[in-house]
Amino acid sequence: MIAALTTPYVAWWALVPLITFAVAGFLLLTVASLVRRLPAVLAPAWTAVAGLGVLLYLVPMWSRVGRDGADSFLAGTVGVDRSSIFVTGILAVAVIAAALISRDYLPREDLPGVELYVLLLMSAAGGVVMASANDLIVLFLGLEILSIAVYVLAALHLRRIESQEAALKYFLLGAFSSAFLLYGIALVYGATGSTNMVRISAFLAQNVLVDDAMLLAGLGLLLVGLGFKVAVVPFHAWTPDVYQGAPTPVVAWMAAGVKAAGFAALMRVFVLTLGTYVSDWRPAFQVIAAATVLAGAVVAVVQTDVKRMLAYSSIVHAGFILVGLQAATDRGNSSVLAYLAVYAFLTVGSFAVVTVVSGTGDASHGLDAYRGMGRRHPALAGVFTVLLLGQAGIPFTGGFVVKLGVLAAAVDGGAYWLAGVAMLAAAVAAFVYLRLLVAMYLEEVPSGTETSGAVPLGALVVAVASAVIVLVVGLVPGPLLDLARDAVPVLVAG
């Protein structure tokens, strides 16, 4: 008599976002293999609908988790709480935006049509796994699903050598950082006897390690591995090159989606799982955050390529998010989530504009391309202005609200010097955005620049919608802050 296998409990309702992304990708790949000539609009529409479906489904999921509390399933390896739902929402928004931007980008660059969307959906599925992982191994799986798709995405522009270079750099450094992460997981497992986040945190709460060198080494390696993914100094060196070389819609996804998933992972691993060791990892986080905001802001000032400029500005943003994260309080967590949400809109909108300006060949990213834009494309320049002011953190934009949130969380935790450094860096970084604005409005159109034609619809929709949302959040911050406050990350035993 063979004992039947008892399958673990699965909360299928909580897996719907993940399954939607994955199945949407598989179906798209199947259809694209079967049908030789797909209508060009099908793949982006399909991807956007999948993202929209997930976004709508998150609403009942949110209230269900609010009613029944967080849950954990698949033998305690996957959890669902409101923070994972929140991050999934950010990922869905980023997917929709990237799909809309790509709709016009791919035909313009004469690139094959379907792979980008398939990889985008797969990568989003990986991000959802990361945001809801309750086990370090599952977290690693999610990270790899996310990253491998993005490595290929970065190389998608077949005829630009910079794109290939970006993909190779990203792949090599990414593989390296994955190794760091795995080694960190192994050491943490060695020190605590489990890879399950719930059990690790319970073990550390109940036991005092006589010799915690191994745990601290594992903790450091985890920080290196995840720090690479979210691009904080000193693990940021790949960012400008990859952002510059990769196709611009992909960069929008990288900056908004990958970063959101990476910070969700950092939050789950450090604040939730290793919360008892906060006094050990907080100094490291603070130093890294300070170095990130300063180095990112200072180096951004001397850039002449707008994509590199935005890459460094994304590094500054990562530093700011870390400022909120190191507080390791509920307030800090909610400020991080709110920052991630607004930052996602800011970046997808900015890169939508950059996609339009870059012109055929995805090559004109110099400041010249932006000179006199206020006269050539008043609408686009206006939208870009709002997004840049939002990135700078000017009051009455969403950027200000969330920057205030992370700084308040840091001050709350007594990290006054860090808040001061971050504010200083924000002032330096503001110069970068102002310089772009000056180029757009006050400088003459260089002779020989052709006046580019109509703005493609997809990118325009993304840019305008993001600008509107950034403004609305700036004027009426309540709803977003309430959502972020309710999105408490918790670990529940299975």
Partner 1 sequence: MSDYLRNWLTLVVFGGVAVLLVGAFLGLGSLVRPSRQTSQKAVVYESGVDPQGDMWSQSNIRYYVFALMFVLFDVEAVFIFPWATRLEVYDVFGLVEMAIFIFILALGLFYAWRKGLLRWI
Closest distance to partner 1 from the beta carbon of 2 (Å) = 5
Closest distance to partner 1 from the beta carbon of 210 (Å) = 8
Nearer to partner 1, 124 or 316 (CB): 124
Among 7, 206, 279, 451, interactor with partner 1 by CB under 8 A: 7
Tell me the window of 23-31, 320-328, 329-337, 466-474 that interacts with partner 1 (CB under 8 A).
23-31
Closest distance to partner 1 from the beta carbon of 164 (Å) = 15
Nearer to partner 1, 188 or 328 (CB): 188
Closest distance to partner 1 from the beta carbon of 404 (Å) = 45
Which residue from 407, 333, 408 is spatially nearest to 87, judged by alpha carbons?
Answer: 333
Q: Residue 481 is which amino acid?
A: L
Nearer to partner 1, 32 or 387 (CB): 32
Closest distance to partner 1 from the beta carbon of 281 (Å) = 22
Among 9, 13, 30, 69, interactor with partner 1 by CB under 8 A: 30
Tell me the window of 25-33, 128-136, 447-455, 459-467 that interacts with partner 1 (CB under 8 A).
25-33
Instruction: Work out whether 208 is an interface residue with partner 1 (CB under 8 A).
Output: no
Nearer to partner 1, 26 or 277 (CB): 26
Nearer to partner 1, 1 or 454 (CB): 1
Instruction: Work out whether 2 is an interface residue with partner 1 (CB under 8 A).
Output: yes
Among 3, 161, 205, 454, interactor with partner 1 by CB under 8 A: 3
Of 398-457, binders to partner 1 (CB under 8 A) are none
Closest distance to partner 1 from the beta carbon of 211 (Å) = 6
Tell me the window of 22-30, 283-291, 292-300, 450-458 that interacts with partner 1 (CB under 8 A).
22-30
Instruction: Work out whether 33 is an interface residue with partner 1 (CB under 8 A).
Output: yes
The binding track of 369-398 with respect to partner 1, each residue x by CB under 8 A or -, is ------------------------------
Closest distance to partner 1 from the beta carbon of 104 (Å) = 24
Of 99-138, binders to partner 1 (CB under 8 A) are none
Instruction: Work out whether 468 is an interface residue with partner 1 (CB under 8 A).
Output: no
Distance CA 201, CA 220 (A): 17
Distance CA 466, CA 472 (A): 10
User: Binding-site residue total for partner 1 (CB under 8 A)?
Assistant: 13
Among 12, 34, 37, 448, interactor with partner 1 by CB under 8 A: 34
Instruction: Work out whether 4 is an interface residue with partner 1 (CB under 8 A).
Output: yes
Among 16, 26, 42, 408, interactor with partner 1 by CB under 8 A: 26
Among 11, 42, 186, 214, interactor with partner 1 by CB under 8 A: 214
Instruction: Work out whether 12 is an interface residue with partner 1 (CB under 8 A).
Output: no
Closest distance to partner 1 from the beta carbon of 87 (Å) = 25
Instruction: Work out whether 161 is an interface residue with partner 1 (CB under 8 A).
Output: no
- Length of the chain equals 494
387, 467 in Cβ contact below 8 A? Answer: yes
Closest distance to partner 1 from the beta carbon of 75 (Å) = 14
Instruction: Work out whether 211 is an interface residue with partner 1 (CB under 8 A).
Output: yes
Distance CA 403, CA 421 (A): 13
Distance CA 158, CA 129 (A): 29
Instruction: Work out whether 5 is an interface residue with partner 1 (CB under 8 A).
Output: yes
Distance between start and end Cα atoms, the chain: 29
Closest distance to partner 1 from the beta carbon of 54 (Å) = 20
Nearer to partner 1, 213 or 427 (CB): 213
Distance CA 115, CA 180 (A): 29
Distance CA 107, CA 85 (A): 34
> In the complex, which residues of this chain contact partner 1 (CB under 8 A)?
2-5, 7, 26, 29-30, 32-34, 211, 214
